[in-house]
Structures are given as C-alpha cells and as structure tokens.
Amino acid sequence: MSVDAGVRQSRGSSTLHRWGFVFVVVTVLVGSVSPVRAESHAGGNAIADIAIVPRIGTEIVWRNRSYVGELDIATAGTNLSLVEEVALDAYLRGIHEVPLSWPDETLAAQVVAARTYLAWTMDRGRSSSGRKYDFDICATTQCQVYGGSSPGESADEIRWDEAIARTSREILLYEDAPAQALYSSSAGARTRAIQDIWAATAKPYLQAVDSPELEVTPFRSWTVEVPAEAFRRVVGQAGFVVGGVISRVVVVGPGEGLGPERVEIQSELGVTSIPVSRIRGIFNKYGPALYPGLFPGPRPSGRRWPQTILSYTFETSLTGEPTAERSGLAPFLPASDLPSPLMVVFDGEGWGHAIGMSQWGIKAMGDQGWTYDDMLAHYYSGLRPEDGGQYIPDTVRIGLTWKSPTLEFEATGSFDLWINGTFAGVLPAGRWQFDRSSSGIRLTPPEGAEFITARVTNRYWPR
C-alpha cells in the first residue's frame, strides 16, 4: 500500500466514528457502454466522502487547471465540495498572484507574502466554511488565488520554484506570530491604512506608505461615469434611498490613519451617507447585474476595466445639469437643445484594497534593483523575513469549491479511488463525472471504460 493510501485509510477510519451508520456500495462493471454508478449511501447525518489519489505521472484536470494532490469530494448540502490536500511547496507553486515573468526579487517578495498570509490564516483558525468543508484556505481572491499543484516546466515556472526554495521557511512575524500580510494588485501613489478601509484595529505594519508604481501600473488612474438615475437605482439595491434630484456627491473623512471615509449624497430629500468600503462593493455587485452594457466601464484602450469601482481610493463629483432629470420635453427637442445628463463621476487610482504590499509596486521595485526583503520592509513598516517554521504547515487543504452539484474531471492517467475511507480500486484515465444524488455521490466513468468489478459493503456504528 502506498503512503498516500495509508494516510487515506487512517483519515477515513477516524472520520467514520463521528458519522454513525454508514452504508457504502461501490459497483463497477467491465466494458460497460452505459453510465456506471458508484454511490455512497449515508444514513442519518453522515457525510459521503470520496477521495481521488493520482498515481505518479497522473494529473487531474478540473476547470482547465491541473492537480496532482489528493482531491476529496464530499456532500455539501445539495452540492458537492472539492478540496485538494498538498505539501506546502506544492501549494505555493500553485499561487497565481503575479506574472511569473516579473523580476526574481519581486517573485521572492510575493512568495514570502503568500507564505505569511497562509501561516496567519492557519494560526487564527479556519473560517466557518473551512470548518464545515474541512479546508484550511480557499482558492479565490477571498484568500489567495490558487491555480493548481501541477509542476510547470517553463523557464518562468522554474524561476518561481526557485523563489519558493530560496525563501524556504521565511515569513513575516509581528509580536512572535505571523503577520496579517495583506496585499493587492495596485495601490496607486500610496497604500491605505487598514483602519481607514475596514474600520479594523490599527496594525503598525499595515499603515499607509508611498508606492513607486505609477510609471508601471495599468491602474494608475481610472474614471467611472454613472448616470444619476443608474446611481440612484444601484445604491437602492443595497437599501440606501436617494430621493429627488441629486445636487452633491462628495467623499468625506477624518483624514489618513484616522478611520473610514464615506460618500455623502445630497438630494432633495436630504443627505445619504454610505461608507466608501460599502459603495465599492455595492457597485461591483449590483452595477453589472442591473446595467451589463454600462458596467464595468471602458478603459481608454476600449477594453473594459476588471471591476466597476476598482479601489477604495477615489474622489467623486457631479457633471451635467440637474434639470436634465426633469426634462419631460426630451422626446420633442433636438439633441442640441437637450441639457447635459446629470452624471456621478468617480475618479480613482489602483485596483484592490491597497492595504499592505502592492504587487505592481514590487514590480517597479524589482525593475529598480530592490531586494525582496527591502520590498517587504517598505510595505510592512519594517518587518523583514525570518524563520517561522513553527507556524508553517507540512500540508495544506485548499477549498476549491463547495457550491457545485456536478464535478467533471479529466484524468491523464490512473488514480486510486477511496470511498468513505475504504479503498475501492484503481481507475483509468478519462473523463469522470461526480454528481450529488439523493443518496450521496454518484460516479459516472468514461463511456466504454474497462476496469475490474468491485463491490464494497461496509457498516459502521458509533462507538
């Protein structure tokens, strides 16, 4: 039995004790041309669980990304969850946060920031979703963007692996614990203090500093023009009422480092105040849903921006004439006689929350010859990499999804299948499908697949 198989068996047996009664049936036919099913039937509050363990040389391709770690599939309400478990360096290899063609020192700074953020995440404990679906960190921009554990062979991918090895065990520490090493794409001219964005407790290493990126970032400046009626409707989706003609829209706040800013909207019915952090989220969520042809707006090049409101760093103003909103004669007047439409204008810079390290900032620093430890010290107010081995896990469980009723994979080679902790056999390459069924998880193999018939029936009772 392989090491992976042994680990899987141990994990399965410990999990079964909390399940109560579990009835497992696996049926696999030889040379079948009709769909073959392997279902795990879970009684009571049981959680059906399937593990896919790729054999050496096999990759599991899901949503155009390749994985070589153990993939665990479990029921998640009416959906399925998918979690990959890999060694730490394999997790870091899959971090897709900056172009790997960027300077070596920039890559090293990104590795240390990513490793630190993972250590901080695990040190504080799993999120509610992590506890529920058994993972340490998610794979999206809500955590860190993870693109799969398959090792690459290009020159840039090798440079990224070298940056991981070169900075092995290094993280940023504050008061003998992993720092909350936040980072974002682009800060513009200056990063933001954490207490100014999220009204959080101030942290000395997450304060505003200059960012030398304006000559390289594509997000140096951006403008979004919103028709007054569209503005009123979008904020209304979040429960903010702006009544009557808008006469003033302005960003107000206590000053840098002193707390959050807010957008104040003066209209005929009074003043509506919305935190800057809320208004960005509102427009990014509801803007494209309500006005897909308008949001996100166009760049100067003609392509669209990645989000409607790109950052929390912006000013607001009004253009046009308030009378335009009241012009009932519009259908009868020539265009030359129509008043200019009233627009709410956002003028901003950067992309992301702008707290901590700016990725376009370290790109500029790498071009200028900065070392990675100096880059990190600049953005994190003096913190430098040090050995944090006691906070670094050997393996990481990454939550890939827990919101899909169907998972389809392409296996490039054979893999081991485990069901509720029981080894169910070695399955061949091909396209496999897993569906949430009323009784657990249904497995459909590639059409015409040939493999050994296996039937496993196990019963377990609680201790």
What is the predicted pLDDT for the residue at 447? 79
**Which H or E element spans position 319?**
strand 314-319
Q: Quick: pLDDT tens for 314-362.
A: 999 999 987 656 545 455 445 454 456 999 999 999 999 999 999 999 9
| DSSP-derived 3-state class of residue 212 | coil
Q: What is the average pLDDT value for the chain, to the nearest integer?
A: 86
> Average pLDDT in the 435-448 region?
86
> Average pLDDT in the 243-250 region?
93
Q: Quick: pLDDT tens for 359-383.
A: 999 999 999 999 999 999 999 999 9
> For residue 462, is pLDDT > 60?
no
**Which H or E element spans position 70?**
strand 70-76
Q: Using CB atoms within 10 A of its CB, is residue 408 exposed (0-12), middle (13-18) or buried (19+)?
A: middle
Give the Å distances, CA to CA, from 67 to 8, 72, 86, 158, 411.
Answer: 17, 12, 9, 17, 10
> Virtual CA dihedral for 326, 327, 331, 335, nearest 10 degrees?
-130
pTM for the structure as a whole: 0.85
Q: Quick: pLDDT tens for 84-97.
A: 999 999 999 999 99
